[in-house]
Amino acid sequence: MKPASTTDYRELARRRLPHFLFEYIDGGSYAEQTLGRNIADLQDIALRQRVLTDVSKLDLTTQLFGNKQQLPVALAPIGLAGMNARRGECQAVRAANKAGIPFTLSTVSACDLEEVAAAASDPFWFQLYMIRDREFMRDLMARAVAAGCTALVFTVDMPVPGSRYRDYRSGLAGAPGFAGDLRRAWQGAMRPRWAWDVGIHGRPHSLGNVAPVLGEGSGIEDFFAWMRDNFDPRVTWDDIAFIRSEWKGPLIIKGLLDAEDARMAADAGADGIVVSNHGGRQLDGVPSTAQALPPIADAVGDRLTVLADGGVRTGLDVIRMLALGAKGVLLGRAWAYALAGNGEAGITHMLALIEAEMRVAMALTGVTSIDAISRDILVKDH
The residues facing 47 across adjacent strands are 378
Residue 309 known to bind ligand: yes
The residues facing 75 across adjacent strands are 103, 331
Residue 164 known to bind ligand: yes
Residue 111 near residue 90 (C-beta atoms within 8 A): yes
3-class DSSP string for 77-110: CCCCHHHCCCCHHHHHHHHHHHHCCCEEECCCCC
Residue 106 known to bind ligand: yes
Alpha helices in 2-85 (DSSP H): 6-16, 19-26, 33-43
Residue 72 known to bind ligand: no
Residue 310 known to bind ligand: yes
Residue 162 known to bind ligand: no
The residues facing 158 across adjacent strands are none
Residue 349 known to bind ligand: no
Residue 24 known to bind ligand: yes
* Whole-number Å distance between alpha carbons of 334 and 5: 9
Residue 51 known to bind ligand: no
Tell me the longest C-alpha to C-alpha distance in the chain. Answer: 66
**Beta strand spans in 115-259 (E):** 125-129, 151-155, 251-256
Is 278 catalytic? The answer is yes
Residue 313 known to bind ligand: yes
Query: Counting beta carbons within 10 angstroms of the beta carbon of residue 68, is it exposed (0 to 12), middle (13 to 18) or buried (19 or more)?
Result: exposed
Nearest CA among 287, 27, 271, 40 for reference residue 157: 287
**Beta strand spans in the chain (E):** 62-64, 67-69, 73-75, 104-105, 125-129, 151-155, 251-256, 272-275, 305-308, 328-331
Residue 281 known to bind ligand: yes
Residue 203 near residue 188 (C-beta atoms within 8 A): no
Residue 287 known to bind ligand: no
Identified catalytic residue from 201, 205, 278, 382: 278
The CA distances from residue 71 to 59, 68, 111, 235, 341, in Å, are 9, 9, 25, 34, 22
Residue 289 known to bind ligand: no
Residue 272 known to bind ligand: no
**Residues annotated catalytic, as ranges:** 278
Known binding-site residues for FMN equal: 77-79, 106, 127, 155, 254, 276, 309-313, 332-333
Q: What residue numbers does the annotated binding site cover?
A: 24, 77-79, 106, 127, 129, 155, 164, 254, 276, 278, 281, 309-313, 332-333
- Which residues sit in the known binding site for glyoxylate? 24, 129, 164, 278, 281
